[in-house]
Chains A and B, each alone.
Chain A
Amino acid sequence: MNLFDLPLKVVNIGLESFYESLQDQDVICAHVVWKPIAGGDLRLAAILDVLNQ
């Protein structure tokens, strides 16, 4: 199967600018708002990890 011969349907996770670029090129695209847990703060994430057990 040749991916690039088919119409693209993209799910973008993370940087919104990637989604916007695809939108500008009329590519069907959904953006998922995602952030790492606790904004990437490892100490807070570790506490949350213990509390979630």
Chain B
Amino acid sequence: MKEIIQLANQKAVTKLKNAQPFWVDVTTAHEGIGLDKHTLLHSGSPITWERMCGPMKGAVIAALKYEDLATTDEEALKLASSGKIKFEPCHHYGCVGPMTGIISYSMPLIVVLNQENGNKAYSTFNEGAGDVLRFGAYGKNTIKRLKWIETVLAPAMKMVAYHSQGINLKVVIAQALNMGDELHMRNGASSTIFIKTILNHLVETCHDHQSLVDIIHFLTTNNDQFFLNFAMAASKSSADAAHNIEHSTMVTAIARNGVDIGIRVSSLGNQWFTAPAAEVEGLYFSGYGPKDANKDIGDSAIMETGGVGGFAMAAGAAIVRFLGAGTYQDALNHTRDMYEICISESESYTIPNLDFRGTPTGIDILKVVETGILPVINTAIASKEAGVGMIGAGISRAPMALFSQALYAYADKYKIMKS
């Protein structure tokens, strides 16, 4: 059995590592993934309206108003709880969304094509900082920004994608890792590289001066995480290529909906293994503390699934203090620990401070259960109150219950022994 698993995991991790994610297009949720007007996608594993956390409910209100399905907050709440709106995980549609991850019918989506495997993945555009849907804001300004993204930013970015004939996201990620990003909570370098890469195409194709001014202002003001959504779609397209490989024990998704955290495993189909979402340990902005925090939330743990984020902490020295992660030695220790639970190391993504060693890649449920070392996730801390936004940043751990459940399911599927 050991040899069968090793071969399967080599196949899976090779798919993950050899992916060639290119940003190739911009679409809408109804055109690109066939979303109907009464279905909303959310981050994490499946969850009902009743069980959703405050920020996710706030984002649902925002989406229903944005789609003109409700004109007031009260109408939106009534509709959301009426049973007429279907809620589905982003992951079930090849999508990933940061924080609440809410995606609706008209929202523009970044399209990433994994040229090695031929599969696509999608994400929304990052809205920047402030009163944004991903943190559950649902006021006028939030809806106005979403409409601007739909009518001004997205069409311009679609032209950029065509004019550039596709942007290689792997190259951006690899460079940014060597410039102090860990690609989950620090995307200052990646966003800068990305903006530099697209700027000529944008100027060549966006002929309306005011739109160009507004887009450049949006990209360069309070928007250091702009590239995160591209990186997430890149990681999703890579992980999906490694999904559904018989006998593989590699994790192909980690996602949180603010109430539960869930994982999927390559050989175990679309089954989610879930446990209560963790509380994030970290640093809070002035005036906030743990009592104000929502539980861990967002699909952005797809970054750790792909071997960066918390797994590349040693590359992101500049983020250590922001996350309240102790000293730089602690960051090194986090990355070193992750090598213990991964199948391989990346050839493309390297860590200068570890003499350019590749990032730990491909979480193996067997190694997690055997060693007791839990995957580390770098993350933003959202207020549990809808619309307040980000109140801190820190680190969480994917709990052991996810991996022990998955191992029991694996033993059951392959008739290892009576569990």
Q: Binary interface profile of B, 384-416, with partner A (CB < 8 Å = 1, else 0)?
A: 000000000000000010001001100100001
- For residue A33, give the distance in angstroms from its CB to the closest CB of chain B: 10
Number of interface residues of A (CB under 8 A): 14
- For residue A4, give the distance in angstroms from its CB to the closest CB of chain B: 35
Query: Cβ of A37 < 8 Å from any Cβ of B?
Result: yes
- A53-B1 in contact given A41-B404, A44-B404, A47-B411 (Cβ < 8 Å): yes
- A35-B372 in contact given A47-B416, A51-B2, A51-B416 (Cβ < 8 Å): yes
Across-interface contacts of B371 in A (CB, < 8 A): 35
Of B366, B369, B400, most buried by chain A (CB within 10 Å of CB) is B369
Secondary structure at the A interface, as helix, strand, loop or mixed, is: helix
Query: Cβ of B48 < 8 Å from any Cβ of A?
Result: no
Cβ of B369 and Cβ of A50 under 8 Å apart? no
Cβ of B370 and Cβ of A48 under 8 Å apart? yes
Across-interface contacts of A47 in B (CB, < 8 A): 407-408, 411, 416-417, 419
Across-interface contacts of B419 in A (CB, < 8 A): 43, 47
Across-interface contacts of A50 in B (CB, < 8 A): 1, 411, 416-417
Cβ of B366 and Cβ of A39 under 8 Å apart? no
In the complex the two chains form, what is the Cα distance from A48 to B371 in whole Å? Answer: 11
Cβ of A53 and Cβ of B2 under 8 Å apart? yes
In the complex the two chains form, what is the Cα distance from A31 to B333 in whole Å? Answer: 15
Across-interface contacts of A43 in B (CB, < 8 A): 419
Query: Cβ of A38 < 8 Å from any Cβ of B?
Result: yes
- For residue B410, give the distance in angstroms from its CB to the closest CB of chain A: 8
The chain B residue sitting closest to A41, CB to CB, is B404
Query: Cβ of A52 < 8 Å from any Cβ of B?
Result: yes
In the complex the two chains form, what is the Cα distance from A46 to B2 in whole Å? Answer: 14
- For residue B161, give the distance in angstroms from its CB to the closest CB of chain A: 44
The chain B residue sitting closest to A50, CB to CB, is B416
Across-interface contacts of B416 in A (CB, < 8 A): 47, 50-51
In the complex the two chains form, what is the Cα distance from A4 to B123 in whole Å? Answer: 66
In the complex the two chains form, what is the Cα distance from A37 to B367 in whole Å? Answer: 10
In the complex the two chains form, what is the Cα distance from A35 to B373 in whole Å? Answer: 10
- A39-B372 in contact given A44-B404, A51-B366 (Cβ < 8 Å): yes
Query: Cβ of B5 < 8 Å from any Cβ of A?
Result: yes
Q: Binary interface profile of B, 1-15, with partner A (CB < 8 Å = 1, else 0)?
A: 110010000000000
- For residue B57, give the distance in angstroms from its CB to the closest CB of chain A: 36
Q: Binary interface profile of A, 15-53, with partner B (CB < 8 Å = 1, else 0)?
A: 000000000000000000001011101011011101111
In the complex the two chains form, what is the Cα distance from A47 to B370 in whole Å? Answer: 10
Across-interface contacts of A53 in B (CB, < 8 A): 1-2
Of A38, A41, A43, most buried by chain B (CB within 10 Å of CB) is A38
Across-interface contacts of A39 in B (CB, < 8 A): 372, 400
The chain A residue sitting closest to B373, CB to CB, is A35
Cβ of A52 and Cβ of B407 under 8 Å apart? no
Across-interface contacts of B366 in A (CB, < 8 A): 48, 51
The chain B residue sitting closest to A46, CB to CB, is B417
The chain A residue sitting closest to B368, CB to CB, is A38
Across-interface contacts of A44 in B (CB, < 8 A): 369, 404, 407-408
The chain B residue sitting closest to A35, CB to CB, is B372
In the complex the two chains form, what is the Cα distance from A48 to B5 in whole Å? Answer: 12
Report B347-368 residues with CB < 8 Å from chain A CB: 366
- A contact set with B: CB distance below 8 Å: 35, 37-39, 41, 43-44, 46-48, 50-53
24 A-B residue pairings within 8 Å (CB atoms): A35-B371, A35-B372, A37-B370, A38-B369, A38-B370, A39-B372, A39-B400, A41-B404, A44-B404, A47-B408, A47-B411, A47-B416, A47-B417, A48-B366, A48-B370, A48-B407, A50-B1, A50-B411, A50-B416, A51-B1, A51-B2, A51-B5, A51-B416, A52-B1
